[in-house]
Amino acid sequence: MITRQTLLAWCDDMLQPYLFKDYAPNGLQVEGAENIKKVVTAVTASHAAITYAADSGADMLLVHHGMFWKNELQTITGWKKQRIATLLKHEINMVGYHLPLDAHSELGNNARLAARMGWITERQCGEQNLLNIGCLNQSQTLADLAVQLEKQLGRIPVVVGDVEKKISKLAWCTGGAQGFFQTAINEGVDVFVTGEISEAQYHLANETGIAFISAGHHATERYGIMALGEAIEKEFGVQIDFFDEQNPA
């Protein structure tokens, strides 16, 4: 068992949220019990994840996507009231780390996706250094890369481009990073991998010859929060339980 403040201080020291300009608060978002014996990790602080944490007796829900997003209504009504009411009733601390967990060189979503896929990271660039540039450990076709992503992530990706094209250099950013596609194009990569696709990326891929893969927002962002939980378990010995919601987006 550790105190809430001890765990938060360790997370802040590890992820350094003060370095990022983010769209939501990082760290403690809803206060619960002071002492932490069990932590549930999840991609998003959905009501399903909160309910799972409550049913499993967790003292903290640690997520990548928390609440209180920029430009969101500030009133506590409807779905937001239901989430917060459940957290307060069960004295569950809700803690979220967004961009700091994307970018971390060891525990981050981008780093963990690369590790699962066997990609070699060369450098970070773009907005807040969130875009990763690297290469495959061996040349393969776009079709081969899509099959490997499906096998690792358990989701059929959306692929735009010549599936027979040989791929060696790639850029990636997990989640909703389709807006980074032009930056990836400027870097001269063969393919850009992210979680989501919008209408415009279809045309950009076809017109530039740079392939685009949307592998799922949730699917590409499971592994950072899992790695953070595993690091906490190793450091403090508290019980960690990962809740994997079946989100197709």
Does the annotation list 162 as a binding residue?
no
Task: Report the length, in residues, of the chain.
Answer: 249
Q: Which pLDDT does position 86 carry in this prediction? A: 98
Q: What share of the chain has pLDDT > 90, as a percent?
A: 97
Q: What is the DSSP letter of 140?
A: E
Tens digit of each residue's pLDDT (9 = 90 or more) over 130-161: 999 999 988 899 999 999 999 999 999 999 99
Q: Which pLDDT does position 171 carry in this prediction? A: 98
Q: Which pLDDT does position 238 carry in this prediction? A: 97
Domains in the chain, please, with CATH? 2-102+221-243 (3.40.1390.30), 119-217 (3.40.1390.30)
**Phi (first) and psi of residue 74, to 5 degrees:** -90, -5
Does the annotation list 12 as a binding residue?
no
Query: Terminal CA-to-CA distance of the chain, rounded, Å?
Result: 36
Does the annotation list 104 as a binding residue?
no
Does the annotation list 221 as a binding residue?
yes
Q: Which pLDDT does position 187 carry in this prediction? A: 97
Let me know: does 163 contact 141? Beta carbons within 8 Å: yes
Does the annotation list 217 as a binding residue?
yes
d(CA 69, CA 136) in angstroms, rounded, equals 35
Q: Which pLDDT does position 134 carry in this prediction? A: 98
Q: Which pLDDT does position 133 carry in this prediction? A: 98
What string of pLDDT tens digits covers the 249 residues of the chain? 999 999 999 999 999 999 999 999 999 999 999 999 999 999 999 999 999 999 999 999 999 999 999 999 989 999 999 999 999 999 999 999 999 999 999 999 999 999 999 999 999 999 999 999 999 988 899 999 999 999 999 999 999 999 999 999 999 999 999 999 999 999 999 999 999 999 999 999 999 999 999 999 999 999 999 999 999 999 999 999 999 998 999
Q: Which pLDDT does position 139 carry in this prediction? A: 86
pTM equals 0.96
